[in-house]
Amino acid sequence: MKFLNEVSSTFPSAVSLASGRPSERFFDKLDPQVLLNALVVYERYSAGGHGGGQLLSHLLQYGRTAGIIGELVAQQVRSDEGVPARADRILITSGCQEALALCLPALCPEAADVLLVCNPTYIGATGAAKAARVAVTALCNSVPCVAEAVELAVLQLRQSGRRARALYLIPDFDNPTGRVLDKASRCDILQVCARNRIIVLEDNPYRLFRYEGDEIPPMAALDEVGSVIYLSTFSKTLSPALRVGAATLPDTIFGDARACRALWENLVQRKSFVSLNTSHITQAIVAGLLIEQAASLRGWIRPALDWYRANRDVMLRQLDSVFSPFPEQIRWNRPSGGFFLSLDLPFRFGADSVDECARCDNVIVMPMSFFALDNSQDCRIRLAFSAVTPEQIRTSVTGLGRYVARRLGRELPSLVDGLAEG
Ligand SMILES: Cc1ncc(COP(=O)(O)O)c(C=O)c1O
């Protein structure tokens, strides 16, 4: 990320398709009046608990490590995400990132314990594992499905005296690939994990951003044995600056309610040493907004959803036009939601390519190798369409086309003339 920030500041006029931020155009829904009002709404709601006048001192004080808005977050996770959440199984965290940083060492406490991840995967998860000295094994991409890859990894690890303890997954509109796991795959993975007592860490920041097609139940809703910890966040739906997310534990861990309680207490204790508690002020803002939205953010995010869908469509149309001269060589997926798609190139695209692309073609893209645990992703890039305008998408994809044509020793004849109006 530091590298990409440096590229952005060196080439300020280059359009960034590298950033998976939410669009800032919807932040004015959270102007100071709205934020203040949300605090007041939360004050009224919680007046019974604290006695009206004491609320401000309560909000400005240190507080409960597990959070003060568990009941409302449980309602939102149930109604929006379909996960059977209960307030006493929720830990409010400083963004989903903190939930990862707490869960990984709690689930993999021994030196022989291993976290399984897809390859590529969200760099924040592998980075958190590294920071906590948790060993990571990438699932093999050459077996047909994730469940088989988990089975294979379990066997291989066992042979070397190690043990797969947790599996990190982003089943809906994966960051970085945009992939969605279908229901059958989710069920198969759950079965393999249950057999091997592997906890699934289901990270789902993009789930509500589905642009078409039927929703697939989250793995936490399909889980029948108590094997899924569900991570959610308000970063993409409301604002990342709030730094409010949550880890929702199941009722039992593999049928054991005491083990689940012990894990929850372990996470709370870890959080008390990391951040004491998540800011009461931002928790109260989230709570006030949830109260006003009847515990569902689906209505709140609708304008953003329409915007992201339109951006996705512009990007797909522009890719179709720009890369039509290279039908066999350049391929990409067509995600039905989320912020990202992935594009396969017939050459390596690394840090040096990012630099050249930004300098000569005014576009910054993310090499997939930045999310990879080996060199299998060297010829792919991630394109994000969330934080740019349609016009920026058109010009930047055209710039990318120019770069690719140059690398392939080809011309883009009608390309540059014919595309911009699309
Ligand atoms: C898959 C994934 N998990 C977690 C995060 C971090 O979320 P938060 O802002 O809630 O810490 C991100 C941020 O982009 C993400 O893409």
Distance 168 CA to ligand 1 centre (A): 13
Residue % of the chain over a pLDDT of 70: 96
Residue 174 Cβ < 6 Å to ligand 1: no
Residue 124 Cβ < 6 Å to ligand 1: yes
Tokens of 189: 């993975």
The highest-level CATH class for domain 2-20+301-419 is alpha beta
Q: What does the buried/exposed string (b/e) look like for 41-64 if buried means 16 or more CB atoms within 10 Å of the residue's CB?
A: bbbebbeeeeeeeebeebbeeebe
Distance 97 CA to ligand 1 centre (A): 6
Residue 95 Cβ < 6 Å to ligand 1: yes
pLDDT at 417: 43
SS (H, E, C) 55-120: HHHHHCCCCCCCCCCHHHHHHHHHHHHCCCCCHHHEEEECHHHHHHHHHHHHHCCCCCEEEEECCC
Q: 236-267 pLDDT, tens per residue?
A: 999 999 999 999 999 999 999 999 999 999 99
Q: Which residues contact 291 (CB under 8 A, 6 or more apart)?
A: 41, 42, 45, 72
pLDDT at 8: 86
Look-up of token digits 């920030």: 5
Q: Which amino acid is at 332?
A: W
Return phi, psi of residue 386, to 5°. -80, -40
Which atom, in ligand 1's list, is nearest to the CA of 174?
1
pLDDT at 421: 42
Distance 21 CA to ligand 1 centre (A): 10
Q: Using CA positions, which residue lies closest to atom 14 of ligand 1?
A: 20
- Given CA atoms 339, 344, 345, 351 in this order, what sign does their dihedral have? positive
User: Taking Cα atoms as reference points, which of 63, 124, 68 lies closest to residue 244?
Assistant: 68
pLDDT at 376: 96
Q: 105-159 pLDDT, tens per residue?
A: 999 999 999 999 999 999 999 999 999 999 999 999 999 899 999 999 999 999 9
Confidence of residue 268 (pLDDT cuts 50, 70, 90): very high
pLDDT at 272: 98
Distance 202 CA to ligand 1 centre (A): 12
Whether 420 shows a pLDDT value over 80: the answer reads no
Please state, in angstroms and rounded to a whole number, the distance separating the CA atoms of residues 153 and 158: 8
Q: 308-365 pLDDT, tens per residue?
A: 999 999 999 999 999 998 888 999 999 999 999 999 999 999 999 999 999 999 999 9
Distance 264 CA to ligand 1 centre (A): 21
pLDDT at 413: 61
In which residue ranges of the chain is CATH 3.90.1150.10 found? Answer: 2-20+301-419
Q: 2-53 pLDDT, tens per residue?
A: 788 888 899 999 999 999 999 999 999 999 999 999 999 999 998 866 655 6
Q: How far is CA 341 from the centre of its chain?
A: 13
Q: 77-114 pLDDT, tens per residue?
A: 999 999 999 999 999 999 999 999 999 999 999 999 99
Is the Cβ–Cβ distance between 382 and 170 less than 8 Å? no
Mind giving me the DSSP string for 302-348? HHHHHHHHHHHHHHHHHHHHHTTT-TTT-EE---SBSSEEEEE-SS-
Residue 97 Cβ < 6 Å to ligand 1: yes
Confidence of residue 422 (pLDDT cuts 50, 70, 90): very low
Residue 170 Cβ < 6 Å to ligand 1: yes
If you average pLDDT over residues 178-185, what whole number do you get?
98
In which residue ranges of the chain is CATH 3.40.640.10 found? Answer: 31-292
Residue 245 Cβ < 6 Å to ligand 1: yes
Distance 315 CA to ligand 1 centre (A): 23
Tokens of 388: 């740019």
User: Taking Cα atoms as reference points, which of 221, 261, 274, 273 lies closest to residue 88?
Assistant: 261
Residue 203 Cβ < 6 Å to ligand 1: yes
Please state, in angstroms and rounded to a whole number, the distance separating the CA atoms of residues 102 and 104: 6
Look-up of token digits 């108590």: 226
Distance 69 CA to ligand 1 centre (A): 20
Residue 349 Cβ < 6 Å to ligand 1: no
Structural fold of domain 31-292: Aspartate Aminotransferase; domain 2 (3.40.640)
Look-up of token digits 């400005």: 60
pLDDT at 326: 87
Please state, in angstroms and rounded to a whole number, the distance separating the CA atoms of residues 177 and 143: 18
